[in-house]
């Protein structure tokens, strides 16, 4: 079973019916220190990354925050 999601405005496919946000970050090699995660426009806090489930059709944004301004 595969799922298709929108990750940071791009279509992505994963070989799983559902994944947690932590698993997606691991697969995508996202090792950001500061970030903002929004799943279907809802804020997901750091302590929820390992429990929040992403499923087919979801809109996920994992936004890297870097210093500078």
Partner 1 sequence: MLNFNQIKTILSKKVVGIAGAGGLGSNCAASLVRSGLGKLIIADFDVVSQPNLNRQFYFHDQIGMNKTDALRDNLLRINPMCLLQIHNTRVTEENISLLFSVCDLVIEAFDDAAQKQMLIEYMLTNHPNIPLIAASGMAGCGNLEQISLIQSGNLIICGDGSSEVSYDNPPMAPKVGIVSNMQADVALQILLSQNENENNTK
Q: Which residues bind partner 1 (CB under 8 A)?
A: 8-9, 33-36, 38, 41, 43, 45, 59, 61, 63-69
C-alpha triplet 56, 2, 18: angle, nearest 5°: 50
1 vs 66, beta carbon nearer partner 1:
66
Q: Which residue has the tokens 């804020």?
A: 43
Minimum separation from the CB atom of position 43 to partner 1 (A): 4
Run of H or E including 27:
helix 21-27
CB of 67 to partner 1, least distance (A): 4
């Amino acid at each position: 079973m595969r799922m298709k999601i929108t990750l940071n405005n791009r279509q992505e496919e994963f070989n799983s019916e559902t994944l947690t946000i932590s698993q997606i970050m691991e697969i995508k090699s996202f090792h950001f220190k500061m970030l903002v995660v929004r799943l279907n426009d809802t804020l997901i806090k750091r302590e929820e990354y390992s429990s929040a489930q992403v499923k087919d059709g979801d809109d996920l944004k994992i936004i890297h925050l870097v210093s500078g301004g």
